[in-house]
Structure 1
């Protein structure tokens, strides 16, 4: 009798567990396990869909992507909990696309930046500034990735933190100076130095040397970054910057003239050379030159102090005769 009772209880338990497991949306099981929920479905249910056939996967991705902030808890949980790197990658990618709305999943993205799968790592690294993960937490992680295969992704992510990434300046300079580094790595390091801003003034001598680099992308971004560093670059960078105005590559000329405008008053002596670019064959250069001139040599208005004015005795009075039509 006792054995029959035990067997009956065991059978009921097995059936109950099977029912929970086979429940289409696993709602009860998710509640018991403390899953995050989105649209009434727990995390494990969404992961099941992402393990399904192509149509199930596509539908789940579309719904999660369109879910906005409401989907973030489930996406963050999937990034941490999913066994399959493909699902973790999908979660990280969707979080990255949500931008600042993904900020509640910051801890999951930081963990994902150390994921065992390199693809998951890369997308999480790129997502850190977009999701608004605090610089105090993200910058050390990104600096560590400057020593990995994700160097370029990490450099671009550091750029998103602007002056808060100043701690990375020595590493970025080291990357730029290393001629054995790929060109893409070097110019991204230079670009990030510029995005950090005036704190990168220590890099000015190296960036000026970059004007002579054989790679045009290095010359371009050295010019760009000096402009973003600002007036501190003017005394030593000005001669080389003027020389770049005649570079064979349009993008180098554009960034050089744009940076002269950013440097401001200290670059006024370059105005004659900048004016020549108003006739440049490339529109991007002409536009940049015009914008720079508007900053460095704005046209004087007639009411500015010191502007030439017609002597009073030569000006007709308001009540006097008017000029004939056509007279100037």
Structure 2
């Protein structure tokens, strides 16, 4: 009964109220999700942009406002998300990348791929994850370059973000991804190699894991990719 009363109270709430409610971690999750869903209405876009661009907006409300644009069908939502990719605020760039990933529009895959060179590793991860969602094979070379970028290592140690590049290749999962995934099989980072094998399994539709050691499976995938 209590939850139902809350639902009725917020069903007709305006955009600022829905943003505020969705951003409040102390509110019931189902009601926060309902408030967030209402922000996907096309009419909400102007207010969402106003909130997101206001320098006095809290980080939580800005995050909700930008993320809500991801599933908003309004064309101006896409343009706004591209604009937010250039924000000086890293969390805003991350939110915009996540939202563009949800839109799955390949028209923006190049803009997303450009963030693989972002100075912030978390933004690079968000870009890779978004590319995996978008699924554009044209971005495979961008992901391969990111994997080889020396700034992806620190004092000789592979950074966690590199695994996300290979996971994105695997999610793209086309024949075009195979050569890029096979190239990652010799990477010194075990997590990168595991992601490469997982991606190859998805692309090929079968596994070499059964009855083989890890080293044998890696060798089998290498032979298979070269013999195609």
Who is 1:128 aligned against? 69
Are the aligned partners of 2:140 and 2:177 in contact in 1 as well (CA < 8 Å)?
A: no
- Paired residue for 2:12, among 73, 76, 80? 73
Provide Cα deviations, 1:158-207, integer angstroms capped at 9, x if missing partner: 22212x2x2322222222135xx11111121121111101x2x2221221
Is 1:191 aligned to residue 133 of structure 2? Answer: no
- 1:254 Cα shift? 4.0
Query: Structure 2: how far apart are the matches of 1:225 and 1:139?
Result: 21
Greater RCO, CA 8 A, separation 6+: 2
Are the aligned partners of 1:233 and 1:263 in contact in 2 as well (CA < 8 Å)?
A: no
Are the aligned partners of 1:242 and 1:273 in contact in 2 as well (CA < 8 Å)?
A: no
Who is 2:51 aligned against? 112
RMSD: 3.8
Specify every segment of 5 or more residues in structure 2 that has no aligned partner in the other structure, as ranges.
25-30
Provide Cα deviations, 1:46-75, integer angstroms capped at 9, x if missing partner: xxxxxxxxxxxxxxxx97x96337614224
- Paired residue for 1:100, among 5, 15, 37? 37
Secondary structure of 1:147's aligned partner: coil
Alignment CA distance shift 1:260-1:216 (3 Å): farther
Query: Structure 1: how far apart are the matches of 2:69 and 2:37?
Result: 10
Query: Structure 1: how far apart are the matches of 2:44 and 2:182?
Result: 45
- 1:88 Cα shift? 8.1
Provide Cα deviations, 1:133-182, integer angstroms capped at 9, x if missing partner: 215232211111111111111111222212x2x2322222222135xx11
Query: Structure 1: how far apart are the matches of 2:181 and 2:21?
Result: 48
Query: Structure 2: how far apart are the matches of 1:272 and 1:133?
Result: 42
Secondary structure of 2:160's aligned partner: helix
Are the aligned partners of 1:226 and 1:233 in contact in 2 as well (CA < 8 Å)?
A: no
Who is 1:202 aligned against? 138
- 1:117 Cα shift? 2.7
TM-score where L is the length of structure 2: 0.68
Specify every segment of 5 or more residues in structure 1 that has no aligned partner in the other structure, as ranges.
1-61, 80-86, 280-288, 297-328
Who is 1:257 aligned against? 197
TM-score where L is the length of structure 1: 0.50
- 1:224 Cα shift? 0.8
- 1:111 Cα shift? 4.0
Is 1:227 aligned to residue 170 of structure 2? Answer: yes
Equivalences, count: 198
Alignment CA distance shift 1:90-1:235 (3 Å): closer
Secondary structure of 2:86's aligned partner: coil
Mapping of residues 207-222 of structure 1, within 5 Å:
207-212=143-148, 213-214=152-153, 215-222=158-165
Alignment CA distance shift 1:272-1:93 (3 Å): closer
